[in-house]
Structure 1
Amino acid sequence: MQVICLEDKAFFALVEEVVTRLKEKQGSDLEKWVSDEDAMQLLNIKSKTTLQKLRDEGKIRFSQPQKKIILYDRDSINAYLARNARNTF
């Protein structure tokens, strides 16, 4: 077994670097706008028609930067799920 000794400053710098890399890999900075496939996965739905219904009824926010590209707001999807969550008994 090898023992590695580090000074305090070097140790804390190493820990900060590890935390930074873990955040990057975990994707803690999630994209605000997601594709229809990602939105359907977040909502656990399989039908694009259901997704369109939620969009048309104003239940989730969306953006349409181009004619055939529709992006969905991750925060509004999470808010929709929270609004429709039921408490346990």
Structure 2
Amino acid sequence: MEVICLQEEAFYELLEKVYERLKARDKPKQEKWISGEEAMAKLRITSKTTLQKMRDEGKIRFAQPTKKLILYDSDSINEYLEDNSYETF
């Protein structure tokens, strides 16, 4: 049996790395294309008209595989939110 000795600082650094890897592994995978309802929830808006306006103005990407089905790119929604976020003082 081998005994491995670590300094306290190295031990806690190792624990942090293990925790981050476990957290990343357990994170549910986000879908690339989401429905209008999911997009509205992510943007925290309640109006379909506002969502359509954002789509028409090119603020968020979308795909329309069929006439009645519109899907939204979750990455572009995240980018939109990042572009419109402000740092605190």
What is the TM-score with the length of structure 2 in the denominator?
0.70
Report 1:53-68 matches (<5 A).
Answer: 53-68=53-68
Distance 2:37 2:68 in 1: 14
Report 1:48-87 matches (<5 A).
Answer: 48-87=48-87
| Counterpart AA for 1:68 | K
1:86 positional shift: 1.1
Following TM superposition, where does structure 1 have runs of at least 4 consecutive aligned residues deviating by more than 3 angstroms? none
For structure 2, the residue ranges without an aligned partner over 5 or more in a row are: 1-21
1:30 positional shift: 1.0
**1:10-51 per-position Cα deviation (integer Å, ceiling 9, x unaligned):** xxxxxxxxx5xx73xx42x11100000000000000000000
For structure 1, the residue ranges without an aligned partner over 5 or more in a row are: 1-18
Q: CA RMSD in A?
A: 1.2
Give the equivalent residue in structure 1 for 2:46: 46
Matched position secondary structure for 1:51: helix
Matched, 1:34 2:24: no
Matched position secondary structure for 2:39: helix
**Aligned residue-pair number:** 66
Identical-residue share of aligned pairs (%)? 62
